[in-house]
Amino acid sequence: MLKFISWNVNGLRAVTGKGIFPEVFKDLDADFFCLQETKLQEGQIDLSFEGYESYWNYAEKKGYSGTCIFTRHKPLCVKLGIDNEEFDNEGRVITLTYPDFHLVTVYTPNAKEDLSRLSYREKWEDAFLTHLKKLEETAPVIFCGDLNVAHREIDLKNPKPNRGKAGFTDEERAKFNTLLSSGFTDTFRYFYPDTEGAYSWWSYRYNARKNNAGWRIDYFVTSSALDDKLLGAKIHSDIFGSDHCPVELSVDLKVN
């Protein structure tokens, strides 16, 4: 069995400086620990864990975006980005390749409150799906991260007033439908198809987390070929330190 964790830490230096990240990392004890929104440049943090290797993708813009994967298992190869110049300067994607699967962590662009980046976001979705399908030519894919979309109405506390807003536009939800219909599985919904009140992000405003007025926008999505290998999915809503909480997936796979 392999255990995967994904967490948008919303600034790795901040959550590490508070002592939270090392403690959470140790307690969750995962084979793979994927991070989004590290907000780092190379050399800005000295962070390592015994028995793990780490791989980083930094945004050109300082203090922005960024991804990282800590792993106990050395990959066959590591790829940063998706081979697309329009999208590869913000540190949003890392792909690790193993004999039996590819692991991808992703921080999907936000459409912005005024939706000024929605068209960019839609083009990104197409390019990212192309990346995933190319990977699938050699092995199934496990990908995780902050996808910045609540797929269904049960994936956020207040769907009606939020419809059409960033993260819950018809366009973003349609792209997620396209992803799933292309042969991928939303693993949390695989196990909990109708569970309500399960969220991974809460605004810092209006006591949203205290009132559980959240959104489920952090995911593990897998190639449908792995459906019979899925063992369990969790949302660790009891873990604080960011406006997101970690999400988890267990899969019946080994790393040869």
Specify which residues 240 forms β-bridges with. Answer: none
Using pLDDT thresholds of 50, 70 and 90, give the confidence band for residue 176: very high
pLDDT of 164:
97
What distances in angstroms separate CA 85 from CA 59, 112, 173, one per listed residue? 13, 21, 25
Q: pLDDT tens across 145-171, in order?
A: 999 999 999 999 999 999 999 999 999
What distances in angstroms separate CA 20 from CA 1, 157, 167, 188, 205, one per listed residue? 26, 27, 27, 25, 22
Specify which residues 251 forms β-bridges with. Answer: 2, 230
Amino acid at 16: T
Average pLDDT, the chain: 97
Q: What three-state secondary structure class fits 143?
A: strand
Using pLDDT thresholds of 50, 70 and 90, give the confidence band for residue 125: very high
pLDDT of 239:
97
Q: Is 107 a catalytic residue?
A: yes
Q: Which helix (H) or strand (E) holds 30?
A: none
The yes-or-no verdict on residue 256 having pLDDT over 80 is no
What distances in angstroms separate CA 223 from CA 13, 27, 105, 185, one per listed residue? 33, 28, 14, 6
Residue among 191, 240, 254 at smallest CA distance from 219: 191
- How would DSSP label each residue in 70-107? EESS--SEEEES-S-TTTTTS--EEEEE-SS-EEEEEE
Catalytic residue among 55, 58, 146, 199: 146
What distances in angstroms separate CA 29 from CA 11, 72, 248, one per listed residue? 21, 10, 11
Q: Which two structure tokens, joined as six digits, stand for 169? A: 């536009």
Specify which residues 8 forms β-bridges with. Answer: 36
Give the other-Cβ count within 10 Å of 21's Cβ.
21
Catalytic residue among 55, 58, 98, 107: 107
Q: Residue 181 burial by CB count (10 A; 0-12/13-18/19+): exposed, middle or buried? A: exposed
Contacts of 35 (CB under 8 A, 6+ apart): 6, 7, 8, 9, 12, 67, 68, 69, 70, 105
pLDDT of 53:
97
